[in-house]
A and B are shown apart, each in its own frame.
Chain A
Amino acid sequence: MQHQNQPHFSADAPTTPCAGPTVTFSSAAADHKRGKKRGSYNCGRCGLPKKGHNCHTSITTTTTTDTTTATTTSSPIINTPTSRADSSASLSSTRPPPPRQPYTHFRRALSFDDDVRAGFPEPEPEVEEEEQEEEDFGYPSMDPEPGALPASCLWEILRRLPPVGLLSAARVSKSWRETSKRLWKAAEELRLRVPARAQVGFVGSVLQKCPGLVRLSLRMESDLDATMLACIAFSCPNLEFMEILKSDTAINRINGDELGRFVADKRCLKSLKMEGCSNLGGFVLCSSSLSTLWLSDLYSLSKMVFNCPNLKEISLEFYRQENDSTDLTTMVDGLGRNCLRLQNIHIASVRLSHSVVLALTAANLRGLRMLSLVLGSEITDASVAAIASSYPNLELLDLSGSSISDSGIGMICNVFPETLSRLLLALCPNVTSSGIQFATAQLPLLELMDCGMTICDPNSQNGIPDESSDWELRNTANHLIYQKLIIKHGRLKKLSLWGCSGLDALYLNCPELNDLNLNSCKNLHPERLLLQCSKLESVHASGCQELLIGAVESQVSNDFPAVENVLPCKRLADGSKRVRVPHFLSAQSCDDDKKRRRVERRHCNVLVS
């Protein structure tokens, strides 16, 4: 089963987090196998379970075999055509680059989406048209038949049809064909689903209708091979953004040479995203225009050379196999030498190790702002030290699945407090709640924190691989079981504690918090929960006890004035503060409530699967 890891990158300001990663571990204990038994995580965009789900906020899932265009487009999804019609030839922010990828298995319910993206759903097959100049554009001039719609209306209607609908419209009459031809010609973006029985020639014939295509997104349900790639290369001379998504059953047969040739030939290609790259074998990519590259399902690559001096963002996800023979160190070394403009790096591989990190830190990537090295259990605190010393300006750091400990967090807090806004430490078994608390206390700019599966009860099966049922170990590990978390942070917007089965008590005073993930926090005690987060919009609580869900619901429906809580606290020897959580953790209603400004509460959704 292939698992998708989604890089965090956002083309916009770093403070707006984007698509969350999915983390699955073949090495972590039984987690991913039990993934399906866990509460299914919800897509942050549409609230539906993520399993086998294509986040286009349309209802179908691509894993079902009877997906028809009818069902996907039955829910009218509008892509704000007005804004697009008004904008000029260049696509506006309605199409931010990182699309949602299909999730198929165990995944975290973290969504890092911009609000912008959430407002622009991406229906499956849709042609989006851009008119070059709105005012000068002449609608196809033809005498409308008496009683028929004026040409401009016909254009507006046809342009809202999905690609298949538009193909069909051409058959209605000759004048409709004329209009639809013009629409195709004006199309700059195409998102097409290629069904299983489609052949290259067919896709080619569609592509040839839209020579002005700038952005192409194909969802392949049939196999992808070099002929298709050549067809794209031939039909779309102005292609700048290409994305190839893949259903589970389709096979991506493209090899490294073919990919290299494609990239070298397409002189305007800026962004390339491809799934299912297990047949690449090895490649040399040379392009001076390429600035974004996402490849997933990579496996055993003999060599990877990136001669892309303008590359800003790279995401490489390796197939989760222990016997992957890719030499990551050499690859990273090469990246560091050739791609000096890199700003965002995401590598997901179980073979990540300290030497890879050292190769990275030896490079002089002055623009590096987002670094994500996930799944590498051989990444240690020493790696953190190296990263911190070479790249002190990181805005996003994701070391999920690593072996770093609380002292690694300490290093992070030493170096990055002025820049770090996103910290992701999911599935880090050596991190404890004190480390997490320390991080939230020391990093004032933090907006997103992911501690999924990190505070785990080692004695339950959801814990770290070391499943010793030794009595003594259980005793000494007691401190890992009943952990509490007290977080008071002025800027935190998203917090994920999914799967933190070792968490017993939670106190949150975060006035900016929008999204809280408590999925599978099985041992969180309903009476040891206090949420003082007036802007909370959604709380994910699937897999939690009924009582806890009830407690959450009652807390979020109360009106919390912005309370400056004065809690008894105590300074410890290492300079940190230990705040004692009050005994009664219930909604505090103050007498001078009325005097306070009424805090406007948005309605908060408690999402249970």
Chain B
Amino acid sequence: MSNTSENPKPSSSSAKMTLKTSDNELFEVEEAVAMKFCTVKQYFEDEKDSDVAARGSTTVIPLPNVHSAVLATLISYGKKLPQSNAVADNHEEEETKKKERKKYEQGLLKNLMPGELLDLISAANYLDFKEGLEFFNQALADHIQNKSVEYVRKFFGIKNDYEPHEEEKYREEYAWAFEGVDED
């Protein structure tokens, strides 16, 4: 929680902030994007409350729970979202941006390793990045929704704490609803 500078800077919409990850990497991020991480925003606002004006690229916000690779993905996702301080687009531009975003999202998911998804969600949760959480949670739900129970356990690293007879009971109870499960 250290402020390295006490110079008040005039507010500007292209102000940048620096985020430091658990592996000591520094990321310079535009304020508009960084504000989507509510944890960062909260940190920022707390700083503003105090007398020290901590604006500008000289402040470094530590994120000890987030690894650089994960933060990189979250930042690039955040950039694609509609910016709250952007000039209101007219309808056409909005449409094109939406399409771009969809393409980006699909590309992102395709290249993602399933394990990385968990990390992304944890990080997004820590950062309180609502849109990211929404997106990645949905992606994860889509991914597991037709997988076998074993797969899900392995994926999340969960131990099966059922007795065999309990498990069998549950399996039979709803067998009627299942009509085919993805290959693991």
- Give me the interface of A with B, judged by CB distance under 8 Å: 67-70, 73-74, 76, 78, 81-82, 145, 147-150, 152-153, 156-158, 160-165, 167-174, 176, 195, 197-199, 202, 205-206, 600, 602-603
Contacts and interface: CB of A to CB of B under 8 A. Distances in A.
Given A149-B118, A149-B156, A172-B152, A197 B138 contact: no
Contact of B141 (A148, A165, A206, A602): A165
Q: Chain B contact residues: over half helix, strand or loop, or mixed?
A: helix
B157 A172 contact: no
Interface string B84-98: 000000111001000
A9 to B, nearest CB: 29
Nearest to B146: A70
A160 B162 contact: no
Question: Which 5 pairs across A and B sit closest by C-beta, in order of nearness?
Answer: A160-B141, A165-B145, A76-B142, A68-B179, A68-B180
Interface string B130-152: 10011001111110111001001
B184 interface: no
A202 B32 CA distance: 51
A69 B92 contact: no
A172 B149 contact: yes
Contacts of B95: 602-603
Contact of B176 (A158, A171, A176, A199): A199
Contacts of B137: 153, 156-157, 160
Contacts of A68: 179-180
Interface residues of B, number: 42
A79 to B, nearest CB: 10
Nearest to A601: B92
Contacts of B118: 149
Contacts of A156: 133, 137
B74 interface: no
Contacts of B156: 148-149, 172
Contacts of A78: 138
B171 interface: yes
Contact of B157 (A147, A164, A174, A176): A147
A68 B180 CA distance: 7
A70 to B, nearest CB: 5
Contacts of A202: 174, 176-177
A557 to B, nearest CB: 14
B39 interface: no
| Most chain A Cβ neighbours within 10 Å, of B125, B157, B159, B179 | B179
Contacts of A600: 90-92
B162 A173 contact: yes
A82 B91 contact: no
Contact of B177 (A148, A169, A195, A602): A195
B123 to A, nearest CB: 11
Contacts of A81: 134, 138
A320 B177 CA distance: 34
B179 A69 contact: yes
11 contacts: A78-B138, A153-B121, A153-B133, A161-B145, A163-B177, A171-B162, A172-B149, A173-B158, A197-B176, A205-B173, A602-B95
A110 B41 CA distance: 48
B170 A157 contact: no
A223 to B, nearest CB: 14
B100 interface: no
Given A165-B146, A169-B152, A174-B161, A198 B176 contact: yes
B170 A171 contact: yes
Interface string B159-174: 1111000010011011
Contacts of B139: 76
| Most chain B Cβ neighbours within 10 Å, of A76, A145, A164 | A76
Contacts of A161: 141, 144-145
B48 interface: no
B141 A149 contact: no
A148 B156 CA distance: 6
Contacts of B162: 171, 173-174
Contacts of B133: 153, 156
Contacts of A170: 170
Given A73-B142, A172-B152, A176-B158, A153 B134 contact: no
A378 to B, nearest CB: 47
A167 B92 contact: no
Nearest to A156: B137
Given A165-B145, A170-B170, 15 more contacts: A69-B146, A69-B180, A70-B146, A81-B134, A82-B134, A150-B125, A157-B121, A172-B153, A176-B158, A199-B176, A202-B176, A205-B174, A600-B91, A600-B92, A602-B91
Contacts of A152: 125
B141 A158 contact: yes
Contacts of B179: 67-70, 195
Nearest to A166: B145
B122 interface: yes
| Most chain A Cβ neighbours within 10 Å, of B95, B159, B177 | B177
| Most chain B Cβ neighbours within 10 Å, of A147, A158, A173 | A173
Nearest to B134: A82
A88 B90 CA distance: 31
A418 B158 CA distance: 65
A27 B158 CA distance: 63
A149 B121 contact: yes
Given A81-B134, A149-B118, A173-B161, A167 B146 contact: no
B51 interface: no
Contacts of B157: 145, 147-148
Contacts of B144: 157, 161, 165
| Most chain B Cβ neighbours within 10 Å, of A145, A147, A153 | A153
Contacts of B153: 172-173
A74 B180 CA distance: 13
B92 A602 contact: yes
Contacts of A153: 121-122, 125, 133, 137
A394 to B, nearest CB: 33
Contact of B178 (A69, A169, A176, A206): A69
B49 interface: no
Nearest to A78: B138
Contacts of A197: 176
Nearest to A152: B125
Nearest to A79: B138
Contacts of B91: 600, 602
| Most chain B Cβ neighbours within 10 Å, of A152, A165, A168 | A168
Nearest to B140: A157
| Most chain B Cβ neighbours within 10 Å, of A160, A169, A206 | A160
A176 B155 CA distance: 14
Contacts of A163: 177
Interface string B20-38: 0000000000000000000
